[in-house]
Structure 1
């Protein structure tokens, strides 16, 4: 046996027998396929948001939900980290989703200033929507869909993937409506931004993203959300059906048997 293989075998044997694998320096190797959660040590200013994510296990719960539904043929790391204002996103070069602690801090501030109470529940829903949106980008990449690298078209597709995934959950409508409110609060906090959006930002304006989520929620279950019924939303059931059918067809190569 060569020296590297002998070393690997010895480490594996120690890790298999020790009662304290973390103390022995034994960490299980990450899976070689699917969505894999990870948390990085935060910057000092981000410790509260990092602690919230650790306690809530949101990254682990969302990745488990994605892996139960989809079999992605390679590893997509979903890492929570300090981003210094860069913003959450997906990197196709490394197959890596980044959820930024500082984004959570900003969203918490918006909700708590608007509502005057702790925002853990609202923040949890916004994180779920964000992670599913970024997973949508990862799947556009994995499936090489026609919207790939097409700016606004890809961003809209990622929003629709978040709608698909969240509306599979009986409480997913609440998550989408909470995320829609977050977009509204962000727009109200910076009213100059949406009439003159950043030309380098491919996302739809915040009010448009909020309305897309409300349309999906209403379209998926009009009887459950009569409060959302307005004349402009008359076509939302048809829009939702098109969203659901298009994404389900695109995902067919990756779908697990349900």
Structure 2
């Protein structure tokens, strides 16, 4: 979803998740208990049970320097989970490696990069803020995604939560690249391109990344099922009903299509079952090549002439 004008910067914020799903999951977690333990298991943290604030630490020479802000009390376990799983470290390194392969002109670290800030967001949802030039990943998303999967009978849901957070970061990194590199994309086209960038980065991760992309597709299915239960009087989740994303079911189907198109043999079980029809699957190889080549062309177009392989 896009978060519109939060008041912090007066700019449009670009977020992955749909507000309806975030609200439902947040309420489910709150109804279970107000304790942090119910919203996620603990992981390595400071003596107080919360990750230390990283503001005073040296900024690494990377395109996505990461900072963990102190969490609110209910988010301590969520923050420890995010940090313990090293989701941000792994995903940001993957984007750095991919982007750097296009040459120094595309390298984000040369201009200070895009800050990645992990923080308590109070239910606002993870997003890219172009005004501040930073990706915000929310500790409370951990609890909300956990509640969504546990509500569907997945216990424990640690791997599922980590997978969705990885896809979320890659989605926001797609927005960041479009903004910082000045890629010429319209609003709806940029949302679709960010989804495609997330799929591209996960598929580049091999079998493990493909499993995470399947989980992200499942999360969209669960979110869509929850949305179907909301009455029409509740209205759209975005302020003013504005949302540039495709529907959750379309996004889920697209992810499954890219998976099948990238490796039909390994993902044969997706064809003709659930969301991916045999007719659509027949086009997925071409769709996947289009996604991969589109991002390669976008990044190559920004590279200095001397850096281009052609």
* TM bucket, shorter chain: 0.7 to 0.9
Q: Give 5+ residue unaligned stretches, structure 1.
A: 1-24
2:64 & 2:231 partners in 1: Cα distance?
Answer: 33
Partner of 1:181: 218
1:208 to 2:250 alignment: yes
1:153 to 2:182 alignment: no
1:62 to 2:62 alignment: no
Larger-Rg structure: 1
- Secondary structure of the residue aligned to 1:97 is strand
Q: 1:172 aligns with which of 209, 231, 234?
A: 209
- Secondary structure of the residue aligned to 2:59 is coil
- Equivalent residue pairs, number: 232
1:84 to 2:122 alignment: yes
> Is 190-199 or 119-128 further displaced after alignment?
190-199
Q: Is the 8 A contact 1:197 1:205 kept in 2?
A: no
1:110 & 1:29 partners in 2: Cα distance?
Answer: 37
1:208 Cα deviation after fit: 0.9
1:243 Cα deviation after fit: 0.6
Matches within 5 A, 1:23-34: 27-31=56-60, 34=63
Cα distance change, pair 176–52 in 1 and its aligned pair in 2 (3 A):
same
1:28 & 1:241 partners in 2: Cα distance?
Answer: 41
Q: 1:246 aligns with which of 278, 281, 294?
A: 294
1:105 to 2:143 alignment: yes
1:202 & 1:251 partners in 2: Cα distance?
Answer: 23
1:28 Cα deviation after fit: 4.4
* 1:210-235, Cα deviation, whole Å (9 max, x unpaired): 11100100011111111112222211
1:123 to 2:161 alignment: yes
> Is 60-69 or 215-224 further displaced after alignment?
60-69
> Is 119-128 or 195-204 further displaced after alignment?
195-204
Partner of 1:53: 82
* 1:134-180, Cα deviation, whole Å (9 max, x unpaired): 00000011221121xx3221111100111111111112111111000
* 1:103-148, Cα deviation, whole Å (9 max, x unpaired): 221110011121241111111111110000000000011221121x
Q: 2:268 aligns with which of 214, 218, 226?
A: 226
- Secondary structure of the residue aligned to 2:224 is helix
Cα distance change, pair 40–245 in 1 and its aligned pair in 2 (3 A):
same
Q: Is the 8 A contact 2:187 2:244 kept in 1?
A: yes
1:136 & 1:129 partners in 2: Cα distance?
Answer: 11
Q: Structure 2 length normalisation: TM-score?
A: 0.69
- Secondary structure of the residue aligned to 1:146 is coil
Q: Is the 8 A contact 2:170 2:197 kept in 1?
A: yes
Cα distance change, pair 194–63 in 1 and its aligned pair in 2 (3 A):
farther
Q: Structure 1 length normalisation: TM-score?
A: 0.83
Q: Is the 8 A contact 2:55 2:67 kept in 1?
A: no
Q: Is the 8 A contact 1:46 1:101 kept in 2?
A: yes
Cα RMSD, aligned residues only: 2.5
